[in-house]
Structure 1
Amino acid sequence: MENHVSHVTTTAEQPSNEARLGILELANMISVPMSLNAVVRLNVPDAIWQGGSNSPLSASAILSHVLPDGGGDAENLQRILRMLTSYGVFAEHLVSADDDGGSHQRKFSLTEIGKTLVTDQNGLSYGPYILQHHQDVLMGAWPMVHEAVVDPTIEPFVKVNGEPAYEYYGKKPEMNGLMQRAMSGVSVPFMKAILDGYDGFEGVGRLVDVGGSAGDCLRMILQKHPSVREGINFDLPEVVAKAPTIAGVSHVGGDMFKSIPSGDAIFMKWVLSTWTDSECKLIMENCYKALPVGGKLIACEPVLPTKSDDSPRTRALLENDIFVMTIYRAKGKNRTEDELRQLGLSAGFSHFKPIYIDYFYTVLEFQK
């Protein structure tokens, strides 16, 4: 006898105003990163900052800075600024435009969030990180996120572009350059926080940075800790080929899945989250082999809370987790503290210590 499954539709309660607003906000959320992308491309944060004044400016005044030859649409820029104001990137100032106060002119300044997009004296900001995340080849992968559920063996990025992201970057010098600027812009403020609150580099003579990109982190570590006599910046050959000369640092190209240069300690940041559990175990086993007894792997990674909540920190961590799944590895992931501890044990490390300094990244010590 053929079984028939009946689908009974019941009338649900009408959604509340809050529920309807919530789903509409989520459905239109793409406006936020795309508007951030727009203000970075237009150099709006630098135009408002003006060397530190951060004086409120109208959209027309901002436009005169970013398009000095004229043109542009101030009203459309203002629309973007208002939306980002609602997310805390800009502060809005309503200034009376006439004596009776009947009309107002909108002006905008930078909030603490907005200031992260200002180019500093070293040419760094979080701007390249935003641009790197929203390049055309990356954006094309996002409509395929569901495919990471259907078939986790192939990343959405690969389904769209035909090869893994890192291989794709390696063939595109402009993308590789943007990646390095993005990593430098994020790494430097993070490393300042780490160096102010973490003393684990004391007593280390030879330090290896796995996935060190341009070598910014080693440069900062050596400046803070002169006891580190030698730094090894270890990354893919095409990456270190473009790395600048840094006193006390040697740039070494190679493959962390095959071997890692030996050192008293090994440092890595944002590496484990982009690989699967088995790949992470292999990387950590190679770290273990490269360390002396008592040596340590110092990993800086996003650490997920055990329980989900709606705090800005948890949201940022989970959003980043989906980015990893979509672009880099469908089974690469941000992990909980316990998952990271178990990975360390599986690679041979007998001691594990998490140190919470930065709001986003956690320092993880694995000792041999």
Structure 2
Amino acid sequence: MGEETHAATETEETLLTLQGQANIWNYMFSFADSMALKSAVELRIPDIIHRHGEPISLTQILAGISDASSPDITCLARIIRLLVRRKIFSAHQASDGGDTLYGLTHSSRWLLSESPSGSEPSLSPMVLMENHAWATAPWHYLSQCVREGGFAFKKAHGREIWEFASENSEFNKLFNDGMACTAKIVMSAIISGYKDGFESVGSLVDVGGGTGETVCEIVKSYPHIKCINFDLPHVVATASKCEGVTHVGGDMFQAIPKADAVFMKWVMHDWSDENCVKILKKCKEALAEERGKVIIVDFVLKPEGDGIFDDTAFVFDLLMIAHASGGRERTELEWKKILQEAGFPRYNIITVKALPSIIEAYPI
């Protein structure tokens, strides 16, 4: 009996060791998933399949790639094979026993850039931005940040991300397009899950609002709200006109336009605790006679959380090391600390069907 137990223990330990090795191999090459996904977006494979309205063959997909000068169907097959394994695309044998046919899944529908109405949300711009060489380069400096501090993006490019964007129009467009697509997706969930939160607001300033997609979505659902889109001058310079929205350029560390409510989506996670307190104090000054509220849309980290987006939140925390200037994602206790330091003793966390949550902060 003892020998059997010992043998079973040895077998279990061997399997765990082997699984551990497999895990390291998988994590070592997990960037391949990102690169395969990026290539599918660049080749517009989801759009090609979508235009046919049904699953199609590799030959049909290749024929739909308009700028293919010397197409390699074997290369395409190998990329799609991995993405089928990752459940980005589906694959099944044609009814006549012919070619394998590839279709869309619930995942690849988030990569469509074409739609009949043009209103379907897409994560394609974010895929292209986050996987561009400019955006991936800072990730190679994480260990250097541990050894000597500093900011990964600046180590990679010689300047922080905001300065880099102001000097590089191509990156600025990539970045703005990525932020715009996530704004549309997140705001759809915010507007449907935070209805009561907007109804009593007469005026709202979106701090770090980019090119204005966020406030435009708010105004569409709540036309009574007078909205200001507030961001750096070079960012708002490319903003499109939107009924009910005024675009204002400025620096949130200096002054924020006054309003009943200050809205910040994925802004605070870009900054250190010290800078977040400074920003929140400027938000407090912007609230008329300290009435109103600050509406923060950001992650609330749950170390033991097993929700659908909880794992992604921890990846975003490392993204803040790679791209931000001292930014981070925060737990509820960490949010409470900076809110109280900035003069917001009362807060409320609201969960919505999106990556981030809503944190309402009140100055009184």
For each residue in 1:70-119, what CA deviation from the matched residue of structure 2 results, as whole angstroms up to 9, or x when unmatched?
Answer: 63112211211121222221112133664xxxxx6322111111101102
* Conserved 8 A contact 2:202-2:260: yes
Instruction: State how 1:253-292 maps to structure 2 within 5 Å.
Output: 253-292=249-288
Q: CA deviation at 1:350?
A: 2.0
- What does residue 78 of structure 1 align with? 77
| Structure 2 stretches lacking a partner, 5+ long | 1-12
Q: Secondary structure at the match of 2:174?
A: helix
Q: Structure 1 residue 232 and structure 2 residue 231: aligned?
A: no
Q: Secondary structure at the match of 2:240?
A: coil
Write the distance in 2 (CA, Å) between the matches of 1:222 and 1:20.
Answer: 52
More off after superposition, 207-216 vs 118-127 = 118-127
For each residue in 1:257-297, what CA deviation from the matched residue of structure 2 results, as whole angstroms up to 9, or x when unmatched?
Answer: 11111100011100011100001110011001111333100
Q: Which amino acid aligns with 1:66?
A: I
Q: CA deviation at 1:306?
A: 3.2
Write the distance in 2 (CA, Å) between the matches of 1:34 and 1:66.
Answer: 18
Given the superposition, is the C-alpha separation of residues 28 and 97 from structure 1 closer, same or farther in structure 2, using an over 3 Å criterion?
farther
* Conserved 8 A contact 1:64-1:70: no
More off after superposition, 32-41 vs 89-98 = 89-98
Q: Secondary structure at the match of 1:116?
A: helix
- What does residue 242 of structure 1 align with? 238
* Structure 1 consecutive aligned stretches of length 4 or more whose deviation exceeds 4 Å: none
* Conserved 8 A contact 1:265-1:296: yes
TM-score by length of 1: 0.89
Q: Structure 1 residue 214 and structure 2 residue 218: aligned?
A: no
- What does residue 34 of structure 1 align with? 35
Q: How many residues end up aligned between the 2 structures?
A: 345
TM-score by length of 2: 0.90
* Conserved 8 A contact 1:132-1:182: yes
More off after superposition, 201-210 vs 138-147 = 138-147
Q: CA deviation at 1:201?
A: 0.9
Write the distance in 2 (CA, Å) between the matches of 1:183 and 1:344.
Answer: 25
CA RMSD of aligned residues (A): 1.9
Give the fraction of aligned pairs with identical amino acids, expressed as a percent: 32
The structure with more helix, counted as a fraction of residues? 2
Q: Which amino acid aligns with 2:103?
A: S
- What does residue 104 of structure 2 align with? 110
* Conserved 8 A contact 2:205-2:229: yes
Write the distance in 2 (CA, Å) between the matches of 1:342 and 1:253.
Answer: 30
Q: CA deviation at 1:334?
A: 0.5
- What does residue 328 of structure 2 align with? 333
Instruction: State how 1:1-368 maps to structure 2 within 5 Å.
Output: 14=14, 16-50=17-51, 53=53, 55-67=54-66, 71-95=70-94, 98=97, 105-119=99-113, 120=115, 121-122=118-119, 125-152=122-149, 154-198=150-194, 199-228=196-225, 230-292=226-288, 293-307=290-304, 312-329=308-325, 331-368=326-363
* Conserved 8 A contact 1:59-1:75: no
* Conserved 8 A contact 1:148-1:326: no
